[in-house]
Structure 1
Amino acid sequence: MADSGWLSEIPQLSRGELRDIRKFLDTGYREFSREYGEMIEGFFDPLLSFLVWFEKLLLATPWWLIIAIVAGLAYLSSRSWKLSLGVVISFFLIGYFGMWDDTMRTMSIILVCTLMAIALGVPIGIAMARSDRVQSVVTPLLDIMQTMPAFVYLIPVVMLLGIGKIPGVLAVVIYAIPPVIRLTNLGIRLVDKDVLEAATAYGASSVQRLMGVQLPLAMPTIMAGINQTIMMALSMVVIASMIGVKGLGQPVLKSITNQYFTLGLLNGLAIVALAIIFDRVSQAYAKRSQRYLEGMDNG
């Protein structure tokens, strides 16, 4: 049996010292939240107003129009009538089983979170692709964000902003943003150097190379990142419901606490249906863009 006496030689904090450090950090964060909490809430007021407006818009829009719009977007992305028919059937069943309002609330949160993740993640991915130093700084942060338990994200935002939509949105965005950052970085770095040299030879500036060459060629990879971001955002729906985010997650949480099997199953299947729809549409668009680029190369 190996000797473990060397463990006693490692300096360790005493219980009292560890308690003092925890108390110091907890007190510091509470004071920070009391001092700047209202200012930070005020900063997010426009986002909250937009969320409330968008949710009301989806709830007020006739169901047939929502289905027509989503089915139309699915067809434009995939050129597949089978996928569009699947969208129609899925949303019809969601409405038939009385989950329409919660589905619209979930869609509003997911769409806003995805747009925020894209708006923040793509520029960060571009910066990583253009600078090895930025990549060396951001990559460890992404590793932490992807390995941190999802519940941990709720603690600081709830302490700072309380219960409601904004804390839920922030937690979802933090949890879901790493894939779009990583794959934007990867997609731009995989662009053929010969293509960039040709663009430079034609007098293209750095911005022109980025917007006209790198981003279009990296779009299939970026779309794969967006696809993963959407899936991760949907996976946070139930967890975000614990801090007051309304939608399909709250009935699932209620079914867990009260053992309502059918309620949890139906709402869980609605979340799965949304995930499949978003997944198929984004994947179909990525494949179409890939075929378009391959056609240009062959041409």
Structure 2
Amino acid sequence: MSGTAQDLARRLWVLLALGAVSTLALFGAYRGVHADAVPLASASTPGVVAVVTAQNALQEAQESAVQSGVAGVPGTSDASIKLAVANQSLGVAASERVTGLDGQQTLATVDGLLTVYSGWIEKANREPAGSPLQDAYFHTAATVLDGNSQAHPTNDSLLGRLAELQRRQEQVVDQQAEFGWPLWIGWAAVVLICGSFCLALVETQRFTRRRFRHRWNRPLAAATVLLVAGVLVLALFTWWTHDGLTDSAALLNGAVDGRLPNPATVKGHMSGAGPRAAVANWILAGGVVLMVLIAAGLVPRISEYRLRSSR
């Protein structure tokens, strides 16, 4: 084999190796950001909203029951309506499984406490307005609800357990939105590896131009354009998704102050996250196309020099 053929063969294997490494690095870094985008939008958001809704409904139910101080018709009184909203919201929170098995266990306990609390409210509503027995029932209900401390519910109370669940949900949301040091390292590696790959493609293009007197090696030029365009597009998609994750996390974690986050607003922040996450499946296909283009640009030239040497 001639010296030029050996140089071409060496460049071929270097480019193929860089192509494989670049593809894997880009695939891992891209998925690292987008893997949590869909769960945050589809599960974490409704789960957080459900818990906040239940907390607000329970507080309003207690206030309504105490302030009215009269017997309400079961299922139609304002307190009963609020309790029904809380119960429905807890069902939604349980279905989303934001915090896993630990959260499911907490919600099962909360569901039991809600049944007990609702029972005391119903008993209070059946007593004459302002009677000592009604006051006692309301006091017992408040103990179950928040330990008779609305500002700082006790840990074993209904609202205290929901507050702890909310804090764990906040941790999950933070983890989903976090761009931590592994991702920084991953994207730094992408820049380094893909930059080296691009330089190697340009150098090989110049080498073939000198040897074959052609202005362009079209397959190598196409591979270079595909690489640069692909990295830029994927970086832009990653920026959009990360920005949406950050904004959504700030909105959802603001619920700690009792504000009900608007799911539509979160949905707006995360619009397009699903399709962008699905692009990860095309990165590997793009890597294969890159390597096919590299082979198409160099293998015929190597074969040409081998043929010359055999003569």
- Both proteins in one fold, TM over 0.5: no
Q: Tell me the TM-score normalized by structure 2.
A: 0.22
Q: Larger RCO: Structure 1 or Structure 2 (Cα < 8 Å, ≥ 6 residues apart)?
A: 2
